[in-house]
Amino acid sequence: MSQAATTTSPDPTLAPGHSYESVTDRIGSIVLQQKHGRNWVFGFAIAFFFVMVLNGAIGYLFLRGVGIWGINVPVAWGFAIVNFVWWIGIGHAGTLISAILLLLRQDWRTSINRFAEAMTLFAVACAGMFPLLHMGRPWMFYWMMPYPDTMRMWPQWRSPLVWDVFAVTTYAIVSAMFWFVGLIPDFATLRDRTQNPWLQKLFGVLSLGWRNSARHWQRFHWAYLLLAGLATPLVVSVHSVVAMDFAAAQVTGWHTTIFPPYFVAGAIFSGFAMVLTLAIPIRAAYGLKDFITMRHLDVMAKVMLAMGLIVAYGYAIEAFMAFYSGSPTERFLTVNRAIGPYWMAYWSLILCNVLVPQLLWFGKIRRSIPLLFIIAIIVNVGMWLERFVIIVISLHRDFVPSKWHMYYPTFWDWATLAGTIGFFLACLFLFARFFPIISMFEMRELVHETAQEPKAHP
């Protein structure tokens, strides 16, 4: 990392020659002046089409039952859970960027944390759908939460699924609050800048009457810092709990102590990939190249590389333990992964998550925006495959051979996946259009700091 850092020092976090006014204006104007262009309409239309596909898929699901999917016994969990874990993982990068990097005083986070957080929210929204949809009787979902039941029944607290419910719900709430708190001063800015009386009222309400007073800032600063401090362990715990959905079960290939850390790493890995996938087009579309500079892309690429290495280590140790432990089922599973009926899934996973990211060792590739974009997408695919490999391959051949069975996704499996992606993008389009996609007050702070001492980074 340090070696890599020296190569990038010339890159500024913020292009020179910017004043408080200019940053505020550039970002605020996206919301206030700029009319949404043809591209926005076009992109949103496509995304919205897939939202409709999602509606269709869910409607039919509720009508007929989960049988419309490819799941069976033994493979009782299929795409639904794969997508759930994938989406929640993507969400984590947002929290990580805004929270952990804030604590580590990484000034380069400033220009990407806002939409990273938004991404978190939307990803968690997508993820949150699946645990409900995959239930045999989704209309009973609230039985998983504690409430005054006339039968005095409670959830079964020993089940990792219930841990999941609590972890994910908490995560959603905290992310939302974190996002909103960060937005309050920017809403105030918009309130003060807009000419439109209605927008003024709207932003006035959203900003709760914020007036940039020193006292406000002081408490704001503390609350924001503490939220970041809380979000950091939270994000780790959430994906650890998700990992425990598998690790706490005794299915071979799930029952592994390494899962929590390696799931967290995987989450950050896919999350950063997704941030890159989004940041690259957005900075181009809205001319924010000054704020999201090469340095950002470069640093994110490095984080991706690091996480990729941890994940690769995870795969390696899994395979090693299978043979070292001497457990025959573990050994069989590992062999079955490599040369069983789903060998293609496994090897493409290795290609996407282990081999391709190695390209990021080279500065040239980290700087080539198209390559970076492609690699990011490949990593996203790879991380989806990882969940598929873990869930489906482990289940389809477990302890008793007489009940081995293949799993083939149906049309509705794919439709649901595509639908959630559409939903995610649609939300992002709306966000980019109607919210300040970069935190203005923090940019002003950045202007202030860079003015004081030009090279502002650790």
Partner 1 sequence: MSHQPIQLRILPATPSRTAPKVWRSLDEQGGRDQFYESLYREFPPNASELTDSQSRRDFLKLAGASVALAGLASCTRQPETRLVPYVHPPEEIIPGKPLFYASCAPSDGGRGVGVLVESHEGRPTKIEGNPLHPASLGATDAQTQAAILDLYDPDRSQSYTRNGAVSTWDGFVGSVSPVLEQLAADGGAGLCILTTTLTCPTQGDLLQKVLQRFPKASWHQWSAADHHQRRAGLLRAYDKPVDITYDFSKADVIVSLDCDFLSQFPGALTYARNFIDRRRIRFDQSGLHALNGPVNRLYVMETTPSLAGAMAEHHLPLTPSQLRDFTFTLAGALGVPNAPPTAALPPRQQAMIQLLTQRLTQSRGKCMVLAGETLDEYSHALVHQINHHLGNMGHTVLPRQSVEVQQVNQVQSLSALVAKLQSERCQMLLILEGNPAYDAPGDLHFADVLKTFTLSRPRQGPPPLAIHLSLYQDETSFLCNWHIPAAHWLESWGDLRAFDGTVGLTQPLIAPLYDGKSAIDLLAFFAGIVGKSDYEILRDYWKEHLQTGDFESAWRLALQQGHLPNSTSPLINDLPPASLAAPAPPPAPAGQMELILRPDPCIGDGRQANNGWLQELPKPLTKLTWDNAVLLSPADAKRLNVENGQVVKVAANGSTIQGPVWLFPGHADGCITIHLGYGRAKSGRAGGDFKNQVGFNAYPLATTSALTSAGPATLTPTGQHMELACTQLHQLIDPKHLASQTTNGVQTIPDRDLAPLEEWSELVGKALPAHSKPLSLFPAPEHQWDGHAWGMSIDTGACIGCNACVMACQSENNSPVVGKEQVLMGRQMHWIRIDRYYRGDPADPQQLRTIFQPLMCMHCETAPCELVCPVAATSHSKEGLNEMTYNRCVGTRYCSNNCPYKVRRFNFFQYSDLNTASYKLMHNPNVTVRARGVMEKCTYCVQRINEARIASKVSDQPIPDGAILTACQQVCPTQAIVFGDLHDPPAKVNRLKADGLSYAMLDEQLNTRPRTTYLKRVRWADAQSSEG
Partner 2 sequence: MSHQPTPIPAVYGLLARFEDAESLLQACRATRQAGYVKIDAYAPYPLHGLSEALGLGRTAVPLVVLIGAILGATGGFGMLWYSSVIDYPLNIAGRPFNSWQAFIPITFEMAILGAALAAVVGMIALNGLPQPYHPVFNIQRFARASSDEFFLCIESDDPQYDLEKTRQFMLQQHCAQLWEVPA
CA 214 remoteness from chain centre: 34
Partner from partner 2, partner 1, none binding residue 401, C-beta < 5-8 Å depending on class: partner 1
Partner from partner 2, partner 1, none binding residue 140, C-beta < 5-8 Å depending on class: partner 1
Minimum Å gap between C-beta 310 and partner 1 is: 27
* 188 versus 385: smaller Cβ distance to partner 2: 188
Among 193, 239, 337, 387, binds partner 2 (CB under 8 A): 193
Cα Rg of the chain (Å, integer): 23
233 is an interface residue for partner 2 by CB under 8 A: yes
Q: Which stretch binds partner 2 (CB under 8 A): 82-90, 281-289, 358-366, 439-447?
A: 439-447
Q: Which stretch binds partner 2 (CB under 8 A): 225-233, 307-315, 377-385, 430-438?
A: 225-233
Partner from partner 1, partner 2, none binding residue 199, C-beta < 5-8 Å depending on class: none
109 is an interface residue for partner 2 by CB under 8 A: no
CA 251 remoteness from chain centre: 27
Q: Which stretch binds partner 2 (CB under 8 A): 58-66, 234-242, 356-364, 423-431?
A: 234-242
35 is an interface residue for partner 2 by CB under 8 A: no
DSSP string for 224-281 = HHHHHHHHHHHHHHHHHHHHHHHHTS-STTT--TTHHHHHHHHHHHHHHHHHHHHHHH
103 is an interface residue for partner 2 by CB under 8 A: no
Q: Is 54 helix (H, G, I), strand (E, B) or coil?
A: helix
Q: Which stretch binds partner 2 (CB under 8 A): 111-119, 174-182, 276-284, 386-394?
A: 174-182
Number of residues written out for the chain: 458
Whether residue 220 contacts residue 185, with contact meaning beta carbons closer than 8 Å, is answered with yes
Of 41, 112, 48, 27, nearest in space to 300 by CA: 112
Among 192, 329, 351, 456, binds partner 2 (CB under 8 A): 192
Among 144, 230, 319, 338, binds partner 2 (CB under 8 A): 230
213 is an interface residue for partner 2 by CB under 8 A: yes
* 230 versus 249: smaller Cβ distance to partner 1: 249
Of 240, 273, 10, nearest in space to 116 by CA: 273
Q: Which stretch binds partner 2 (CB under 8 A): 24-32, 121-129, 335-343, 352-360?
A: 24-32
173 is an interface residue for partner 2 by CB under 8 A: yes
Partner from partner 1, partner 2, none binding residue 313, C-beta < 5-8 Å depending on class: none
How far, in Å, CA of 295 to CA of 348, rounded? 30
- Please, what is the end-to-end C-alpha distance for the chain in angstroms? 13
105 is an interface residue for partner 2 by CB under 8 A: no
How far, in Å, CA of 312 to CA of 175, rounded? 29
448 is an interface residue for partner 2 by CB under 8 A: yes
- 398-437 burial, b if ≥16 CB within 10 A, otherwise e? beeeeeeeebebeebbebbbebbbbbbbbbbbbbbeebbb
Helices (H), 248-368: 259-285, 294-324, 328-339, 343-350, 363-367
444 is an interface residue for partner 2 by CB under 8 A: yes
85 is an interface residue for partner 2 by CB under 8 A: no
* 215 versus 364: smaller Cβ distance to partner 2: 215
Q: Is 457 helix (H, G, I), strand (E, B) or coil?
A: coil
* 1 versus 151: smaller Cβ distance to partner 1: 151
Of 245, 257, 253, 259, nearest in space to 130 by CA: 245
106 is an interface residue for partner 2 by CB under 8 A: no
Query: Distances in Å between the alpha carbon of 377 and those of 87, 304, 306, 383?
Result: 14, 12, 17, 10
Q: Work out the number of other CB atoms within 10 angstroms of the CB of residue 91.
A: 33
Partner from partner 1, partner 2, none binding residue 368, C-beta < 5-8 Å depending on class: none
Minimum Å gap between C-beta 167 and partner 2 is: 5
How far, in Å, CA of 226 to CA of 231, rounded? 8
Residue ranges binding partner 2 (CB under 8 A) = 19-21, 24-25, 28, 146, 152-154, 156-158, 162-163, 166-167, 170, 173-174, 177-178, 180-181, 185, 188-189, 191-193, 205, 208-223, 226-227, 230-231, 233-234, 237, 241, 244, 440-442, 444-445, 448
